[in-house]
Amino acid sequence: MKTKHLLLLLSILFISSCKMNIKQEGRARSLEGNKSTKESVGITGHKVIKDGDIIFQTSLSAQSKAIQLATKSKYSHCGIIYKSNDKYYVFEAVQPVKSVPLEKWIARGKDRHYIIKRLKEADKIFTPQILHKMKQIGESFKGKSYDLTFEWSDEKMYCSELIWKIYQRASGVEIGKLERLRDFDLTNDIVRSKLNQRYGKNIPLDEIVISPKAIFESELLETVMGN
């Protein structure tokens, strides 16, 4: 009789233990599920992002390596983030100048890595009027061809030039130091090959240039997020 009671007691304890483990596993899955949901939302659901933020990545384009070597920078492409209808977009100079969904933009970069930076005094400078003006200026560039020869004109646009001109013309803020083509390291074979491909023997060494690195390293910006 005592043996039966003992077995019954052990059975009850075993079943209770199993139920407890199942609940704990369920709770763990729930927490993990919530974590995955947050991660799957990605930065598009992150409240940190604001209109006018600048996002950087390492492009996988044919000229990316040459830009990295010449400027001695990890990052070779950048764009401005805007929000429209509860979705984030990157306004960028590719072929042609256009807006692309933020998720798609990130997916194009190497290892999906990105860094987002913001003007340190953005809350003071980026009034609704200034942001509206930035978008208007951007619209005037929309559809323009990508500038393969990096000329300092408005006929064509490259990525960092687009950002610099929008910021400067809308708010008066100059993000990054303007340089000359000769200021970069043009000695690497990959760089020289790309220059010869674009210019032949007439390389415009005195052409004004603004690089992604110059904007990335601007003291006027601060990093707000990245991966």
* Mean pLDDT to the nearest integer, 7-28: 42
Q: What per-residue confidence (pLDDT) applies to 114?
A: 97
pLDDT at 109 over 80: yes
pLDDT at 54 over 60: yes
What would the pLDDT profile of 111-145 be if each residue is shown by its tens digit? Answer: 999 999 999 999 999 999 999 999 999 999 999 99
pTM equals: 0.80
Instruction: Answer whether 22's CB lies under 8 Å from 89's CB.
Output: no
Taking every pair of Cα atoms in the chain, the longest distance, rounded to a whole number of angstroms, is 104
What does residue 198 show for φ and ψ, rounded to 5 degrees? -85, -40
pLDDT at 46 over 70: no
Alpha carbon 43 to its chain's center: 10
Instruction: Answer whether 121's CB lies under 8 Å from 219's CB.
Output: no
Q: Which residues share a beta bridge with 205?
A: none
Helices and strands in the chain, H and E counts = 8, 8
Q: What per-residue confidence (pLDDT) applies to 62?
A: 87
Residue 143 CA: distances (Å) to CA of 93, 140, 150: 9, 8, 17
Share of the chain above pLDDT 90, in %: 78
Share of the chain above pLDDT 70, in %: 79
| Average pLDDT over the chain, rounded to an integer | 85
* Mean pLDDT to the nearest integer, 34-45: 40
Distance CA 173, CA 134 (A): 12
Instruction: Answer whether 116's CB lies under 8 Å from 223's CB.
Output: yes
* Mean pLDDT to the nearest integer, 175-189: 96
Q: Which of 156, 162, 153 lies closest to 144, judged by CA?
A: 156
Q: What per-residue confidence (pLDDT) applies to 35?
A: 38
Q: What per-residue confidence (pLDDT) applies to 214?
A: 98
Alpha carbon 18 to its chain's center: 47
What would the pLDDT profile of 196-224 be if each residue is shown by its tens digit? Answer: 999 999 999 999 999 999 999 999 999 99
Distance CA 59, CA 72 (A): 14
Q: How confident is the model at residue 10 (pLDDT cuts 50, 70, 90)?
A: very low
For residue 97, count other CB atoms closer than 10 A to its CB.
24
* Mean pLDDT to the nearest integer, 173-187: 96
Distance CA 104, CA 112 (A): 10
Q: What per-residue confidence (pLDDT) applies to 43?
A: 53
